[in-house]
Structure 1
Amino acid sequence: MKTLLAPTKNYRLNGRLWLETDEGRFLGIGRLELLERIAELGSISKAAQAMGMSYKRAWDLVSSMNAQAATPLVSTQTGGTKGGGAVVTEAGQAAIVAFNELQTRFQEFMALETNRLQA
């Protein structure tokens, strides 16, 4: 690889990480942020608004994650006199932690490989 690189350039690896199944993406940076916002705001609608995304898009992402997970990552409650809401489940909280750890290892891998390119 080194013979392909111009010595006057500063190269680095860059990339995005996501976890997917045959059905499509399961978890990635955007979905992780959506889970975190739902946990913070208690609502898919408010989380979508905070992220600048439509409610339908957020709902579709939550539905996709829930369908692909062993147990749902988000639990919803329909509206009533007190209104509806959403809660990130224990499985959802575990998914946030696990994906953040995976993302850290991915960043470490890219830094290590960047150092190898520059050595």
Structure 2
Amino acid sequence: MNPTGATHSPASAPAVAGQAAAIPFRQDSAVSLPEAGGMLVAALLLLAAFYGLAWYARRAGWLDRWMGGRRIEPGGNMAKLAVMERRAISRKTVIYRISDGEQEYLLVESSASIGLARSGKHA
């Protein structure tokens, strides 16, 4: 017996818990088809916006710093480059004779590496 005079038995505790209302299970699906379609459309719009921004940034030259590409100025020295001759040494190795208007260079391209050397000839 406790100080209030009521007696508690271990058998009466589950009866009290069983009288409380149970939490009902969710009857509808977690994600409906229109919600999933809306998320898919939103993801596609974000992807298209990112692609458009990347395309514009590349065209505007904003990415040249990270892409490693060099812009060629019209009428600059790069406009004078010409491949004079191309020889295949093997299936995976090719030698190019290149002229820039003043000097000639030999460019050796293989599957392993690329090498460039002056040929000693003046164009």
TM-score range, shorter chain: under 0.3
Give the structure with the larger strand fraction: 2
Higher relative contact order (CA 8 A, sep 6+): 1
Give the TM-score, by structure 2 length: 0.22
Structure (1/2) with the larger helix percentage: 1
